[in-house]
């Protein structure tokens, strides 16, 4: 780590008060943003100087729901419905995965994310210590959880505790506790997860109400919706990150709001598995914190947050027949500050003095970004992940498109 100066750049701060600052200067000292504004520093005596001409800087993207090492299953099982895909293709494949496989899959995933502007990811998978080691080696911020399903509760608690010990001094690594879903965990397991999270002051990361089948089965078996049922397990008493939330009643949305549950929208995965479209505009109107994720590379099939932002923005305009919903600023917030908030960070996701220095710099000197009439719109509707030129995490330059360093 050292000092980095970014000069004369267009800064999309993601702060509602600061907005976009033209001809900005950013000073990074250690892992923090020391200065952002229009004043030119008196010296250019920095370890690294980036000239921001024709470039745009914004907070790093936060992929708030993924299963990173599922890169190994990219294009392995496509064009199938979720239950068939999961139980007949994915789970049997995953049963054979070993720690070494997860290491390889994680390396592919982290490389893809850093090159595409993602600086932080929230993972739910297996052999997470391997993923943590890869994250540290490559310098990306990771929130990890070795996911509990079926009868694996005791084993997973042990794994999580071993990992907490291994990474206890690492700034880049933190944890959630993850019951996979209501259809892979019994009531007792969900209750145990809830109690564990509460007594260890942890957040929960889970799948919720992803498909109509999950919704209908839950109502038939228990006389409750998945969200109502999850509430009875006590899970929502801990800070909760719920991925998908596609099949929701108005009462379900009230439950999420009441417990301050953060929702992760994964529009491409939901569309590809034909699960439906989550009522995101209603959630936003109610003040629910909505973040954005890619889900795993098996159901997406990439970890590209720029694609995810564009789809999120246009999908809801089409569904609601209202082009004013999900404007570019709202979607950028979902992919940055809302994700950081869901993960419990209060100093991430905004370019602001004193905040963690996680940011990306895009090269806007490309035909598909010309003319730049509106930087925020161009970021959501026209930019591509391949426009990312530099990725900085925790004050460290971890990807440079020119040199392909990572």
Residues that bind Zn ion (CB under 5 A): 295
Q: Residue 273 Cβ, how far from Zn ion at the closest point, in Å?
A: 10
DSSP summary character for residue 132: H
Output 208 or 283, the one with its CB closest to Zn ion: 208
Output 137 or 150, the one with its CB closest to Zn ion: 150
Spatial neighbors of 258 by CB under 8 A, at least 6 apart, are none
Q: Residue 276 Cβ, how far from Zn ion at the closest point, in Å?
A: 15
Question: Within 10 A of 112 (CB to CB), how many other CB atoms are there?
Answer: 19
Rounded CA gap, 163 and 175, in Å?
A: 9
Annotated ligand binding at 165? The verdict is: no
Output 295 or 389, the one with its CB closest to Zn ion: 295
Q: Residue 211 Cβ, how far from Zn ion at the closest point, in Å?
A: 12
Annotated ligand binding at 67? The verdict is: yes
Q: Residue 242 Cβ, how far from Zn ion at the closest point, in Å?
A: 11
Annotated ligand binding at 210? The verdict is: yes
Output 280 or 379, the one with its CB closest to Zn ion: 280
Q: Residue 263 Cβ, how far from Zn ion at the closest point, in Å?
A: 13
HEC readout, the chain: CCEEEEEEEEEECCCCCCCEEEEEEEEEECCEEEEEECCCCCCCCCCEEEECCCEEEEECEEEEEECHHHHHHCCCCCCCCHHHHHHHHHHHHHHCCCHHHHHHHHHHHHHHHHHCCEEEEEECECCHHHHHHHHHHHCCEEEECECECCCCHHHHHHHHHHHHHHCCCCCCEEECECECCCCCCCHHHHHHHHHHHHHCCCCEEEEECCCHHHHHHHHHHHCCCHHHHHHHCCHHHCCEEEEECCCCCHHHHHHHHHCCCEEEECHHHHHHCCCCCCCHHHHHHHCCCEEECCCCCCCCCCCCHHHHHHHHHHHHHHHHCCCCCCCHHHHHHHCCHHHHHHCCCCCCCCCCCCCECCEEEEECCCHHHCCCCCHHHHHHHCCCHHHEEEEEECCEEEEECCCCEC
State the DSSP H helix or E strand holding residue 381, giving kind and residue range, or none if neither.
Answer: helix 375-381
Rounded CA gap, 102 and 159, in Å?
A: 15
Closest residue to Zn ion, judged by C-beta, is 295
Annotated ligand binding at 94? The verdict is: yes
Q: Residue 378 Cβ, how far from Zn ion at the closest point, in Å?
A: 30
Output 13 or 66, the one with its CB closest to Zn ion: 66
Q: Residue 67 Cβ, how far from Zn ion at the closest point, in Å?
A: 6
Q: Residue 296 Cβ, how far from Zn ion at the closest point, in Å?
A: 6
Output 59 or 105, the one with its CB closest to Zn ion: 105
Output 69 or 388, the one with its CB closest to Zn ion: 69
Output 7 or 207, the one with its CB closest to Zn ion: 207
Output 70 or 173, the one with its CB closest to Zn ion: 70
Instruction: Answer for the pair 135, 166: CB distance below 8 angstroms, yes or no.
Output: no
Rounded CA gap, 9 and 394, in Å?
A: 20
Q: Residue 225 Cβ, how far from Zn ion at the closest point, in Å?
A: 19
**Binding region for Zn(2+):** 65, 67, 207, 295
**Binding region:** 65, 67, 94, 155, 180, 207, 210, 295
């Amino acid at each position: 780590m050292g000092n980095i100066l970014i000069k004369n750049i267009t800064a999309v701060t993601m702060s509602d008060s600061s907005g976009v600052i033209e001809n900005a200067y950013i000073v990074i000292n250690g892992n923090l943003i020391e200065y952002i504004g229009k004043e030119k520093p008196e010296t250019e005596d920095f370890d690294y100087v980036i000239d921001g001409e024709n470039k745009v800087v914004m907070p790093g993207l936060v992929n708030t729901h993924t299963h990173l090492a599922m890169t190994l299953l990219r294009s392995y099982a496509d064009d199938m419905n979720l239950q068939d895909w999961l139980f007949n293709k994915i789970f049997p494949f995953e049963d054979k995965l070993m720690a070494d496989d997860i290491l390889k899959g994680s390396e592919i995933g982290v490389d893809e994310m850093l090159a595409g502007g993602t600086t932080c990811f929230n993972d739910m998978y297996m052999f997470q210590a391997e993923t943590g080691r890869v994250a540290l080696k490559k310098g990306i911020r990771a929130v990890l959880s070795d996911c509990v399903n079926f009868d694996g509760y005791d084993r997973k608690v042990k794994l999580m505790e071993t990992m907490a010990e291994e990474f206890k001094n690492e700034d880049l690594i933190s944890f959630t506790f993850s019951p996979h879903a209501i259809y892979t965990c019994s009531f007792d397991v969900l209750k145990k997860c809830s109690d564990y999270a509460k007594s260890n002051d942890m957040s929960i990361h889970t799948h919720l109400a992803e498909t109509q089948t999950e919704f209908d089965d839950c109502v038939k078996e228990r006389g409750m919706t998945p969200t109502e049922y999850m509430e009875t397990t006590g899970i929502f008493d801990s800070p909760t990150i719920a991925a998908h939330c596609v099949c929701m009643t108005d009462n379900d949305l009230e439950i999420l709001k009441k417990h301050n549950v953060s929702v992760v929208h994964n529009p491409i995965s939901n569309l590809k598995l034909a699960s439906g479209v989550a009522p995101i505009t209603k959630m936003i109107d109610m003040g629910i914190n909505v973040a954005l994720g890619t889900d795993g590379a098996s159901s997406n099939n990439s970890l590209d947050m720029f694609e995810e932002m564009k789809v999120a923005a246009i999908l809801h305009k089409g569904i609601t027949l209202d082009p004013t919903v999900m404007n570019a600023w709202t979607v950028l917030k979902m992919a940055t500050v809302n994700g950081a908030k869901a993960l419990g960070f209060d100093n991430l996701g905004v370019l602001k003095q004193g905040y963690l220095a996680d940011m990306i710099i895009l090269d806007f000197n490309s035909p598909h970004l010309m003319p730049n009439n509106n930087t925020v719109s161009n970021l959501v509707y026209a930019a591509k992940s391949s426009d990312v030129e530099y990725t900085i995490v925790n004050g460290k330059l971890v990807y440079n498109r020119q040199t392909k360093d990572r």
